Amino acid sequence: MSAIRCSNNRRAAGFTLLEVLVVLLIVGLVAASLFEALSRLNDVRGRIGPYLGISEREGLMNSWFRTAVNDIVPDQQYGKHLFKGGASSFSGLSMAPLAGDPGAASPFLWELVYDGSHDRTILRYTGYDQKPIEVRSWHGSKAAFGYLGPDQSWNETWPPGLKKTKQLPLAIRLYAKEQGDVVVAAIRGEKEPPPDPLALFTGQNNAGQ
């Protein structure tokens, strides 16, 4: 009697061949579905990967431009790095140079250079080391900088003609018309340098007004 019970217990604790086959069939179907989904995901990733890479690179380069502009600082009243800007270039001092150590005022030059042989406009940065860095480029020639004044209007040059303004604009805009690409960066610090005590005593500040 006890032998029969042990035999029944062993049979109840194990799996029948049919149950094993059913489990294997279910596992096979799930695995096939997963492999098919993974294959489709890899195919989609392969198709859009290059575009995502370009988008990420452009985002990083735009971030470099914004950071460098955010930390532009004014030069002393008679300094050789007074900020000046036009449609195709602007220069001055920045606390966040692309080349060199951040935290110290460093001279820079941002340029839009048209390459006619490839019909593209290149955004180029030159720092204190005088080694140009190609930051990014756009198709066509219609790209320009703009400068936001205190009256909230955009100007093609800075200083804007005969208007009396501070050394630095409120913001700088980079606009690639043919691509519809716009990057705007505000200058966060003071727009004029603090007064030079020596210049105050010698009257040089009044001479420049």
Across the chain, what does the average pLDDT equal? 82
Check residue 209 and give its pLDDT.
42
**133: alpha, beta or left? (left if phi > 0; alpha if psi -120 to 50):** beta
Task: State both tokens at 76.
Answer: 């002393």
Where residue 200 falls among pLDDT bands split at 50, 70, 90?
low
Other CB atoms within 10 Å distance of the CB of residue 167: 21
Where residue 129 falls among pLDDT bands split at 50, 70, 90?
confident
Between 139 and 4, the higher pLDDT residue: 139
Sorted by sequence, the CB contacts under 8 Å of residue 20 that are 6+ apart come out as none
pLDDT in tens, 37-62: 666 556 655 555 565 566 777 777 88
Check residue 51 and give its pLDDT.
58
Per DSSP bridges, beta strands 72-73 and 120-126 are unpaired
Does residue 97 sit in helix, strand or coil? Answer: coil
pLDDT in tens, 144-168: 999 999 999 999 999 998 878 899 9
Where residue 208 falls among pLDDT bands split at 50, 70, 90?
very low
pLDDT in tens, 21-36: 888 888 888 877 766 6
Picking from 85-94, 138-147, 176-185, which range would have the lowest pLDDT averaged per residue?
Answer: 176-185
**24: alpha, beta or left? (left if phi > 0; alpha if psi -120 to 50):** alpha
Please work out, in degrees rounded to the nearest 5, the angle formed at the alpha carbon of residue 24 by the alpha carbons of 23 and 29: 100
Tokens 């596992």 sit on residue:
27
Residue 143 has pLDDT above 90, yes or no: yes
> What pTM did the predictor assign?
0.69
